[in-house]
Amino acid sequence: MEKLLIIGNGMASSRLLDELVKRPPSRFAITVVGAEPHAAYNRVLLSPMLAGNIQWDDVRLKPEGWYAVNGVELEQNNPAVMLDPVAKAVKLADGRSLSYDKCVLATGSEPIRLPIPGADLAGVTTFRTAADCAEMTKVASRGKPAVVIGGGLLGIEAAYGLARFGLEVTLIHIMDRLMERQLDAEAAAMLKTAVEAKGVRVLLDAQTATIEGEGAVSAVTLKGGARIRCGLVVMAAGVRPETALARQAGLAVNRGVLIDDAMAASAEGVYAIGECAEHRGRCYGLVEPAHEQARALAMLLAGENASYEGSVLATNLKVSGVPVFSAGDFEGEGASSIVLRDKAMGVYRKLVVRDGKLAGAVLFGDTSDALWYLDLIRSGAAIAPIRRDLAFGQAYAEAA
C-alpha cells in the first residue's frame, strides 16, 4: 500500500478522510499529523461553545476511536516541522521522521496578531483554536469588561459569546460596517443593530492604538484618544494561510500554497487543500470550498476522474443568533438589483441580476431560500420567467 501523509487535522483534513475511507478498497496507509492535542473539531462551533450553548462533544468532528476503527494513524500534539519533498519525508516536533508516497498539506490558517504596543500582555488572545476558547473562558470568568478587535464573523461571534458570558463587551472595527466582505451596507447596518441588541457596544471606523497594562491588560486606547477599560482583549482581525512548512520545503507559495485544478502543489506527490491553499489566485477562508477540494482530491487519489475549478463564495450561517447569507457578486456594481424589505420582521433580501442571470444575493433574517438562490447563481440559469417573483422565494416563484 502507498503511504499517504496528511499534515493538519482540521476541517479540510477531516473531510478528506471521510471521502477516502468511503472509497474501498483503500489504496493507502494513512497517517494524519496534527499540531493540536485534540482530534479534528469544528472551529465554526467554538463560538456557541464559548457562549455555553453547546459542549465539547458537540464540537468534535469524529467520535472517540474513529481513527483506529478506520485504520488511520493519528499523531496529535506533534506538528510537522520540516518537509523534504525530494526525500519524500516529514520531520515531526518529537524528532521522528515519517516517509510518504503522497503528502497533503491541510495546515489551515493562522490568526493575525496585530503589531500594536501591548499585544503581548497577559489577557490578550486570538480566537482560532479550542485552546483560545479555553483561555477566553478562563479570563472572562474574572468578570472584567472585554474588548474584541475585528468586526468580521469571528469578531462578532467572540463578542456575542462573551456577552452571553455576562461581560460588558465592546467590539472595535476599523471599517465603516460589519462583515464588509460578506454583507452590503444595508444588511450590515441591520446586523449592527442586532448585535447591539445582544448587549455588545459596536464602534465602527475605530482603530486600536495601544493596549495598556502592567503585566496584564487593563485598557485599550483608540486612535483619537478614547480609552476603554478591560481585562480581556480578543484579536479577531482575520487570518492568513499557514504556509511556513511549504515555504521551508521550497514549494511555490504566494498568499497560499499554489495548487492546480488537481490540488497538486509544485513538488511531485505533494498536494494542498483548504485555507492554506491558493487556487487560481484565490485563497478561500470558508468551509465549503475546503470540502469541495477535499472531495475532488479524494476522487483523484482513488483513481477517479475529478477536477476542481473553483468555488462560488457563499456564507450561510447564524451570526449572533441572526441568520445571514451572501453569495456571489452581492454588491452588484453596474448590475440591477431586486430588493425586498420587511422592517417589522427584520427581513432583508437583495438579489443581483446581471445579463438575465442571478449573480449574487444577500439575505438577512430569513435564509430559508439560501440554497435555492445559490443553485441559481452556480448554474447560471436564466431567471426571466421567475424574475417578478424571485424575491419571494422558491415555493412562491415556482408556483407562480
For the chain, domain boundaries? 2-110+239-301, 124-235, 314-399
For residue 44, pLDDT over 90 is answered with: no
> Which residue type sits at 168?
E
Q: The whole model's pTM is what?
A: 0.92
Quick: pLDDT tens for 292-321: 999 999 999 999 999 999 998 888 888 878
For residue 79, pLDDT over 80 is answered with: yes
- Of all residues in the chain, the percent with pLDDT exceeding 90 is 88
Mean pLDDT of 248-276: 98
**What distance in Å separates the CA atoms of residue 365 and residue 325, rounded to the nearest whole number?**
9
> How is domain 124-235 classified at the architecture level of CATH?
3-Layer(bba) Sandwich (3.50)
2-110+239-301 and 124-235 in the same fold: yes
Spatial neighbors of 44 by CB under 8 A, at least 6 apart, are 287, 317
**What distance in Å separates the CA atoms of residue 141 and residue 167, rounded to the nearest whole number?**
9
Quick: pLDDT tens for 278-298: 999 999 988 999 999 999 999
Helix 11-21, helix 287-301: angle, nearest 10: 30
> How is domain 314-399 classified at the architecture level of CATH?
2-Layer Sandwich (3.30)
> How is domain 2-110+239-301 classified at the architecture level of CATH?
3-Layer(bba) Sandwich (3.50)
Instruction: Using alpha carbons, select from 227, 195, 224, 199 the residue that is nearest to residue 211.
Output: 227
